[in-house]
Amino acid sequence: MTSVPALSLRDALLAIAIMAVWGSNFSVVSVVLDDLPPLLFACLRFTFAVIPAIFFIRRPDVPWSKFAAYGLLIGVGQFGLLFLAMRGHITAGLASLIAQTQVFFTIAMAVMLSGERVRPYQIAAVLLAASGVAVIVSHTDGTTTPYGLALVIIAAIAWAGANMVTRTLPGINMVAFIVWASLFSAPPLFALSLYFEGWPAIRESLANAAWHDWLAVAYQSFGNTLFGFAMWGWLMARYPAATIAPMSLLVPVFGMAIASAWLGEPLPYWKIIAAALVMAGLALNILWPRVAAIRGARSQPVG
């Protein structure tokens, strides 16, 4: 039986750092969408991921089709739809939760497209973490719409598709890949913003944007995109999808905690229980291979 590489402590800490950045993202977005149209905001995010970095970072030796697929899936598919949903159609906390259905779509795509084998402990880990997600869903207050929910689920499917692209690119410079792939995110997002939001809204929003709006754009471009997705892509190329994808279930845990501390959103007992279930599932996913390896080593005959 082929062994499954265990998630190293360094890579686990890296994944947790990415989740903290992504979790904070939803609170940032919910504030800025009061000032900037969603498609324009998404366009700015990827524009500053490209400029000025593209003038200093060499293009990786990757087919243009990979850049285009990833750029469109992440830019238009994930963030374009997510930002549209978050402007009045779904709350930041619920969006951070529903977006993590990408875990299940990613694992399903990996099984269908790559022939990956999902181990029983990984299924148990996902179910345990998903039970925490179910606790949150059961306590929603109805401040979302079917339209918003559908947009976020489609965004999660797009994210899973982008994960499949990065899994075909082991050993490349992921920061460079993200920069060049963003060439295929910003232009279509600007075209969609121009068509749906209109030039007057774009001009007025840019003219009246406050300093914190531009700070949020910078955080989106450098923190979420260049750090978050570059390192996430590196991890996706290094480990099986069933090992890495469940880590993103930590996003709503960070998202709810940060929204509570920053935006004053309530943090009742059921959110604590949900967070504990999610973290228990992640702990099982990370620690089980190590425990199994130790037990296997001890059971080997000496001599």
Average pLDDT value over all residues in the chain: 85
Examine residue 179 and state whether it is found in any structural domain, yes or no. Answer: yes
**Structural domain of 166:** 9-291
User: Which pair of tokens denotes residue 136?
Assistant: 């949150």
pLDDT digits (tens, 9 = 90+) for 97-122: 778 778 778 888 888 887 777 788 88
Examine residue 302 and state whether it is found in any structural domain, yes or no. Answer: no
> Phi and psi of 98, rounded to 5°?
-65, -30
Rg for the chain (alpha carbons), in Å? Answer: 20
* pLDDT over threshold 60, residue 22: yes
Examine residue 184 and state whether it is found in any structural domain, yes or no. Answer: yes
Examine residue 173 and state whether it is found in any structural domain, yes or no. Answer: yes
Q: What pLDDT was estimated at residue 103?
A: 79
Q: What pLDDT was estimated at residue 299?
A: 66
The secondary structure of 226-273 as a DSSP string is IIIIHHHHHHHHHS-HHHHGGGGGGHHHHHHHHHHHHH-----HHHHH
176/57 Cα distance (integer angstroms): 6
Examine residue 170 and state whether it is found in any structural domain, yes or no. Answer: yes
Total domains in the chain come to 1
Examine residue 297 and state whether it is found in any structural domain, yes or no. Answer: no
Confidence of residue 1 (pLDDT cuts 50, 70, 90): very low
Name which of 185, 159, 181, 158 is nearest 169 in CA terms.
181
User: Which pair of tokens denotes residue 107?
Assistant: 């694992």
Please give the C-alpha separations between residue 229 and each of 37, 47, 112, 173, 209, in angstroms, as whole numbers: 23, 15, 23, 12, 26
Examine residue 96 and state whether it is found in any structural domain, yes or no. Answer: yes
pLDDT digits (tens, 9 = 90+) for 175-229: 899 999 999 999 999 999 999 999 999 999 999 989 999 999 999 888 888 888 8
pTM value > 0.85: no
Examine residue 296 and state whether it is found in any structural domain, yes or no. Answer: no
Cα atoms in the 13 Å half-sphere on the side-chain side of 282: 23
77/88 Cα distance (integer angstroms): 19
